[in-house]
């Protein structure tokens, strides 16, 4: 049974929700009121600024009927209702995370054991939307990557993948880029060399948060694609040596790229990025684009480089990687703020032609949330 009680001064109320006692401030409840005078019925956006709500807002009454909480505020003499399930999901009166590097409940770290369960969708099924697209987007959200099979093999087919969830993000590489052997390439990605697992474009702010790679031709030997969960690697580092984890999260690295006379991209961000409350929200790792590290004090530089080396060793461990070969009409999508990708070396014989482009994961998350709400 859910119960409610008001504080003596009306500053907050206490709800017994699902066996947990949760407190809610009067001003928080008033600011989050869902009535049509406070929120636009069509899109839920606030119609009031905080300045429009009295600073001395108090709770003067509260009662529960079925699954609804009804409260009244002074000095506005206003009553609003809240769904108890919404309050339970939005509650903020709970223990703060104790350890840096915690993950959202919807994120699952992984290693090579995921090899047999690569999140995979059929292009035609995904193009129809509905449950198939929702479920695949849910897996990409949880694991940070997903593969697509049975797609078309025409030039530009990768844009149809982005159309499933969002919009192409254009860069100095254009709307898309070609990944095949070139003479005098501007980027090592355009050679047959193997590449260490990395996140793309760490020298950008903001970094492109989704990358799509699409296979159009694949007859050359080798060239398998590989992905590594950067979150799992960071958590492995934390388990081994908390000091290493903290030093890579505390200090900024610098990344840069100058591919031509008109391009000089630079960023300053930590290799392991934490939210202010310690949530692990990003990894930037790219040995090719790391500039001179100059934001670490002399006393900590030795530890920093030891931590950087160890993180690279963890990323290079075969026990961390999931490997698969893309055939024509197949593609994969990666969360570029989390999942590192790589490529095995391939021979000059035969052909290997992939196309890549960038997008943003707010579109992917939006599409997933919208499909999940229907």
Which domains does the chain possess? Answer: 4-90 (3.30.2020.30), 112-373 (3.60.130.10)
Region 70-90: mean pLDDT is 96
User: Which pLDDT belongs to residue 19?
Assistant: 80
CB-based contact 13:59 (threshold 8 Å):
yes
CB-based contact 340:198 (threshold 8 Å):
yes
| Per-residue confidence band for 221, with pLDDT thresholds at 50, 70 and 90 | low
User: Which pLDDT belongs to residue 316?
Assistant: 96
Region 265-294: mean pLDDT is 96
Average model confidence (pLDDT) for the chain? 92
Measured CA to CA, the distance from residue 224 to residue 324 in angstroms comes to 6
> Which range has the worst mean pLDDT, 84-93, 125-134, 187-196, 232-241?
187-196
User: Which pLDDT belongs to residue 186?
Assistant: 52
pLDDT above 90 for 343: no
pLDDT above 50 for 40: yes
User: Which pLDDT belongs to residue 297?
Assistant: 97
179, 196, 308 from 188: Cα distances, Å: 10, 11, 22
Which phi and psi angles does 220 have, rounded to 5°?
Answer: -75, 150
Cβ neighbors of 199 (< 8 A, separation 6 or more) are: 207, 230, 283, 284, 285, 286, 336, 337, 339, 340, 341
Measured CA to CA, the distance from residue 54 to residue 373 in angstroms comes to 34
Which phi and psi angles does 105 have, rounded to 5°?
Answer: -60, -25
> Which range has the worst mean pLDDT, 47-56, 127-136, 195-204?
195-204
Cβ neighbors of 110 (< 8 A, separation 6 or more) are: 143, 229, 232, 322
Region 319-336: mean pLDDT is 95
Measured CA to CA, the distance from residue 227 to residue 132 in angstroms comes to 23
Measured CA to CA, the distance from residue 299 to residue 251 in angstroms comes to 13
Measured CA to CA, the distance from residue 300 to residue 237 in angstroms comes to 17
Three-state DSSP at 317 gives coil
Task: Concatenate the DSSP letters of all residues of 2-51 into one string.
Answer: --EEE-TTSSEEEEEETTEEEEEEHHHHHHT--STTTB-TTT--BSS-GG
- The reported pTM is 0.89
pLDDT above 50 for 183: no
More confident position, 115 or 343: 115
Task: Concatenate the DSSP letters of all residues of 169-225 into one string.
Answer: E-BTTBS-EEES--SS-SSGGGSSS-EEEE-S-TTSSSPP-EEEEEEEEE-SSB--E
Secondary structure letter of residue 59 according to DSSP: E
pLDDT above 90 for 122: yes
pLDDT tens for residues 245-276? 999 999 999 999 997 888 999 999 999 999 99
């Amino acid at each position: 049974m859910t119960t409610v009680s008001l504080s003596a001064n009306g500053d907050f109320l206490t709800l017994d929700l699902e066996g947990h006692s949760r407190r809610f401030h009067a001003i928080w409840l008033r600011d989050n009121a869902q009535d049509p005078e406070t929120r636009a019925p069509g899109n839920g956006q606030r119609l009031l600024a905080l300045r429009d709500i009295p600073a001395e807002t108090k709770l003067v009454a509260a009662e529960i009927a079925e699954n609804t909480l009804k409260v009244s505020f002074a000095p506005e003499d206003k009553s609003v209702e809240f769904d108890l399930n919404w309050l339970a999901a939005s509650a903020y009166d709970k223990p703060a995370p104790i350890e840096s590097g915690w993950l959202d409940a919807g994120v699952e770290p992984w290693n090579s054991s995921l090899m047999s369960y690569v999140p995979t969708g059929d292009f035609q099924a995904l193009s129809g939307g509905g449950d198939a697209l929702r479920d695949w987007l849910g897996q990409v959200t949880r694991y940070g990557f997903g593969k697509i099979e049975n797609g078309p093999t025409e030039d530009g087919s990768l844009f149809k993948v982005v159309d499933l969830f969002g919009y192409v993000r254009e860069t100095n590489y254009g709307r898309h880029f070609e990944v095949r052997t070139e003479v005098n390439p501007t980027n090592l990605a355009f050679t047959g060399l193997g590449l260490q697992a990395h996140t793309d474009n760490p020298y950008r702010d903001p970094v492109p948060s989704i990358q799509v790679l699409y296979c159009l031709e694949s007859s050359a030997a080798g060239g398998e694609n590989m992905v590594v969960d950067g979150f799992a690697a960071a958590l492995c580092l934390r388990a081994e040596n908390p000091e290493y984890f903290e030093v890579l999260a505390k200090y900024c690295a610098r990344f840069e790229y100058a591919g031509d006379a008109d391009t000089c991209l630079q960023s300053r961000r930590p290799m392991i990025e934490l939210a202010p409350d310690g949530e692990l929200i990003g990894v930037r790792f790219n040995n090719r684009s790391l500039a001179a590290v100059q934001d670490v004090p002399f006393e900590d530089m030795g530890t920093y480089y030891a931590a950087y080396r160890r993180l690279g060793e963890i990323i290079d461990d075969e026990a961390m990687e999931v490997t698969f070969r893309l055939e024509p009409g197949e593609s994969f999508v990666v969360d570029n703020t989390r999942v590192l990708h790589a490529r095995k070396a391939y021979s000059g014989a035969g052909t290997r032609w992939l196309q890549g482009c960038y997008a943003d994961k707010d579109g992917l998350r939006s599409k997933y949330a919208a499909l999940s709400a229907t």
